[in-house]
Amino acid sequence: MTATSLRLALAQLNPTIGDICGNADKVRAARRIAGDAGAELLMLPELFLCGYPPEDLVLKPAFQDACRKACEALARETGDGGPAVLLGLPWAEGGKLYNAYALLDGGLIQSVRFKVALPDYGVFDDSRVFSPGPLPGPVVFRDKVRLGLPICEDIWSEEVVECLAETGAEILLAPNGSPYRRDVGDERMNVAVARVVESGLPLVYLNQLGGQDELVFDGASFVLAADRTLAHQLPAFREAVVVTDWAREAGQWRAQPGEIAAIESGDEADYAACVLGLRDYVGKSGFRGVVLGLSGGLDSALCAAIAVDALGPGRVTCVMMPSRFTAQQSLDDAKACAKALGVRYETLPIAAPVAGFEAALAGLFAGTQPDVTEENLQSRARGTLLMALSNKFGWMLVTTGNKSEMSCGYATLYGDMNGGFNPIKDVYKTQAFRLAQLRNHWQPAGALGRDGVVIPESIMARPPSAELREGQTDQDALPPYEVLDAILACLIEREMRVADIVALGHERETVLAVERLLHRAEYKRRQAAPGVKVTGRNLGRDRRYPIVNAFSDGGEGAYEPDATLVKGVGRPGGESFDF
């Protein structure tokens, strides 16, 4: 192979799961852009034709057929002499289903490679629906370069890349469906650098973009040279088609330096993920806009700001639903927030609906004392009114509970938990304050909301309250949020023992109380709306706990097993060994 140059186009695009025709049209549009730029090859992310992750939808034979038919149509179109296409799709062969990556060129499907490493941890369940492929060799492209095509998880260990390097690969092109979580970019870069060092080969990391249910794919694709220098960095949270130029120098391919986009990190990245996740959930589901209850509190104000940045003020309706416990300050703050955001703002008092519920229940409740039941009637009246607006006008109801509340069950089923999607479901209360402060002086690229202060400072200064009784604050029922969130992060993200959390300086009874709340609220979370994942472990796909669960960590600390009681431990094949 004596070719000395290659022009490769990278398409960091936003597919919709199941919209095979629409995704194929995105491939065609990107191919036209690549062709106009003189590119010879267009690369798409993992499973782009069907969208990732397709979950059990991919097991439907009709779905598999539709993907194959669309792939073949795209392959025929490459007979026009334009750019070849590297395309991900499910591939049925020999009674098995594979996560495949195909080279389409010259009117044919020239080569197909299958994903080897199938993740089944965290949010992933690839091994549930796909069969692992064999260790791959490189694909020869137009007799000029041997391409190694490790698919996503294939680069997270050495085996696949080592095999490709040993069998003659010259460039590693890795299509990915890697969802966002905080600091994941550093992890991806570390893994990519390790593979480059081990193989001595340059690597293209091309990631999917867009929201899919709880997951947000942030893009942030990049190109590493064989000497580990960063040749290209694509933006995060935005689509991009970028053409890269490659030259063979001293027998090795090198990417010519290109644009290095700035990548959001920390709270900025989390906020951008919430915006993209809500935008795509609403858009891909076909809703005209959204409606949410604007209480004058922090969480609903933050969600309103996210909704406006995602959809624009014209597609967001905010509703204040005061009760006799609603403070004048809440009314003033809600109105000011709505005005700053530029959204439609309505007021629906709930006194009459609540009185109706109380009257209907008066006979059965006779002789009992008012308690949380009557408080929850207020929340449920609000939820009913908001759902009526959703039904009547085709607006999706945004629910606004943060991760701290959802963890502890500090939310009302069929009340404030009503809704189709929650952009801050994976945001702890302490971070919600930070995101609100952040949004008042910054907004992500492509945001459709106004610049400047959109969440009144008075909202952030007030003690959080559900305002379901006179003088109520969140801290009546929960520890201070700084304490609560630190304990929850230990229990959820790190699965720490109670004793180890206490050793960090937390009060034992507080930790035990929070753990009890966390376990008891599982039944509520199973009925909660999906929401954007931003942490390492969200209360959804990542964390699958039984609803009925009698276990409690008593706080005794780690137990040291008595090895003298164990005669043998079984091994595969029935063998055992003695200690």
For 223-233, the pLDDT digits (tens) are: 999 999 999 99
Give a yes or no: residue 235 inside a domain: yes
Known binding-site residue numbers for L-glutamine: 121, 178
233 plus 274 within the same structural domain: no
Give a yes or no: residue 489 inside a domain: no
Q: What type of residue is 195?
A: R
Among 313, 311, 368, 303, CA closest to 340 = 313
- Taking only the tens place, the pLDDT of each residue in 453-472 is 999 999 988 876 555 556 65
* CA atoms of 250 and 480, how far apart (whole Å): 63
Beta bridge partners of 268: none
Give a yes or no: residue 566 inside a domain: no
* Chain centre to alpha carbon of residue 210: 9
Known binding-site residue numbers: 121, 178, 293-300, 376, 400, 405, 524
113 plus 239 within the same structural domain: yes
Q: Domain span at residue 396? A: 268-473+519-526
Q: Are 447 and 307 in contact (CB under 8 A)?
A: no
The domain that holds 79 is classified in CATH as 3.60.110.10
* Chain centre to alpha carbon of residue 378: 32
pTM for the predicted model, two decimal places: 0.93
- Taking only the tens place, the pLDDT of each residue in 110-122 is 999 999 989 888 7
With pLDDT > 90 as the criterion, what percentage of the chain qualifies?
A: 80
296 plus 249 within the same structural domain: no
With pLDDT > 70 as the criterion, what percentage of the chain qualifies?
A: 95
Known binding-site residue numbers for deamido-NAD(+): 376, 405, 524
Among 386, 380, 371, CA closest to 414 = 380
* Residues carrying an active site annotation: 46, 115, 152
121 plus 202 within the same structural domain: yes
305 plus 388 within the same structural domain: yes
* CA atoms of 31 and 207, how far apart (whole Å): 17
Total domain count, the chain: 2
Q: How confident is the model at residue 570 (pLDDT cuts 50, 70, 90)?
A: low
